[in-house]
Amino acid sequence: MSETASTMTRPPGRPAEVSLDAAVSCRGLMKRYDELLAVNGVDLEVSRGECFGLLGPNGAGKTTTVEILEGLLERDAGEVRVLGMSWEHDERKLRERLGVQLQETYLAEKLTVEETIRLFRSFFHEGKEVEQVLQAVQLQEKRSTWVGKLSGGQKQRLSVACALVGDPDLLFLDEPTTGLDPQSRRSLWELVERYRAGGGTVLLTTHYMEEAERLCDRVGIMDQGKIIALGTPAELIASLDAEHIVEFSLAEGVEPPDSEALLALEGVTRVSHGGGSTQLTVTEPHVAVPALLAELERRGVALAGLSTHYATLEDVFVARTGRHLRDE
């Protein structure tokens, strides 16, 4: 784990200061809810023009972190700069330049799409024309439809439209595609990519690794209020020291071989258990798989399932925490 640990610790001598050039910069962010330490010392830096993703399971502290950065939640400790400004001094100016999409907002059901966008447009001094935004989120044909009659994907695009209407420099998206079908998800991804093509900065949270891999230049993996790994998706995957994952499960109630025995197999660099199966990080699956099968055969246990795939961010999370991103 030393590779990612180095991206986490500050080089000695560098002062713990927030950056004024970055789109978002925070140091030592803390937030406590009664007994729960929701955010436990988060440092973040999002460059202008970048798409940064906070990836983590439910309850990891992603939303709390983002809402502090959005100026919607008070922090208990830490420094925050957004577009070089602070919430304490420049709130109104900042609001004019941010686009915020919250997790699960229920927009007024009995207003039409166009009326809703026009309402949000009126809050901003400068911004896009309602027509432009309708087109950007591809809801022109639904302009006269009541919000309550839209599908989940359309509602979500409208929610993003309300965030885009002020022509923001920085767009916050909190789990923008949770609960959407694959097609709606892809159409939202394209929307984010078009916004970025225009020079915008994005900070999003997600618990879908495909989403982070597709959209984000850099990803912070969050768990229990901390960022446990930070880097480009490729860097994080490379940090596993191997590109392939072999995942196997045994019949219910049968204990898998212990980690030491598995690590002794040829080509296995890491072992983790979680989600009812065992994951082996391997350099060469064609070497590791026969070795695994031989070992299981020797022990007289039967396989219930076996699969191999290229390593993903999900595997990075599993390797670090022993849990899946979405533990149901």
Partner 1 sequence: MNSVARRLEHSPLHQLALARFREFTREKEAIFWTFVFPILMAVGLGIAFRNKGPDKVYIGLVDSPQATPLATALAAEGDVVVRRVPAAEANAALRRGDVALVILPAGGKAGGVAYRYDPTRPESRVAQMAANEALSRASGRPPAGPARVEKVTQRGSRYIDFLIPGLLGMNLLGTGLWGIGFALVRMRTGKLLKRFLATPMRKSEFLLSFILARLAFLAVEVTVLLLFARFAFDVVVNGSIVALFAVAVLGALTFGGLGLLVASRARTQEGVMGLMNVVSLPMWILSGVFFSADRFPAVIQPLIRALPLTAVVDALRGIMIDGASLAALALPLGIALAWCLASFTAALAMFRWR
| Residues in contact with partner 1 by the rule CB under 8 A | 70-72, 92, 95-96, 98, 100, 102, 104-108, 110-111, 115, 118-125, 146, 162, 166
CB of 164 to partner 1, least distance (A): 12
CB of 303 to partner 1, least distance (A): 47
Q: What is the DSSP string of 134-167?
A: HHHTT-GGGTTSBGGGS-HHHHHHHHHHHHHTT-
Among residues 120 and 195, whose Cβ is nearest to partner 1?
A: 120
Among residues 33 and 123, whose Cβ is nearest to partner 1?
A: 123
Q: Who contacts 270 (Cβ-Cβ below 8 Å, separation ≥6)?
A: 240, 241, 242, 263, 280, 281, 319
CB of 110 to partner 1, least distance (A): 4
Kindly compute the dihedral angle of the four CA atoms of residues 190, 110, 106, 176, in this order, to the nearest 10 degrees. 0
Contact 249, 304 (CB under 8 A): yes
Among residues 97 and 323, whose Cβ is nearest to partner 1?
A: 97
Among residues 97 and 214, whose Cβ is nearest to partner 1?
A: 97
Tokens (6 digits) for 77? 């400790």
CB of 17 to partner 1, least distance (A): 27
Angle (CA) 151-156-160 rounded to 5° is 145
Buried b (16+ CB within 10 A) or exposed e, 291-306: bbeeebeeeeeeeeee
Cα 66 to chain centroid, rounded: 11
CB of 126 to partner 1, least distance (A): 10
Tell me whether residue 327 is exposed, middle or buried, using C-beta atoms within 10 angstroms of its C-beta: 0 to 12, 13 to 18, 19 or more.
exposed
Among residues 114 and 314, whose Cβ is nearest to partner 1?
A: 114
Kindly compute the dihedral angle of the four CA atoms of residues 182, 184, 186, 188, in this order, to the nearest 10 degrees. -150
Among residues 102 and 306, whose Cβ is nearest to partner 1?
A: 102
Coil, strand or helix at 175 = coil
CB of 152 to partner 1, least distance (A): 15
CB of 67 to partner 1, least distance (A): 9
Helices in the chain by DSSP H: which ranges? 2-8, 62-69, 87-97, 113-123, 130-136, 152-164, 182-197, 209-215, 233-238, 259-263, 285-299, 313-321
Among residues 52 and 87, whose Cβ is nearest to partner 1?
A: 87
Residue type, 172: F
Among residues 37 and 119, whose Cβ is nearest to partner 1?
A: 119
CB of 134 to partner 1, least distance (A): 15
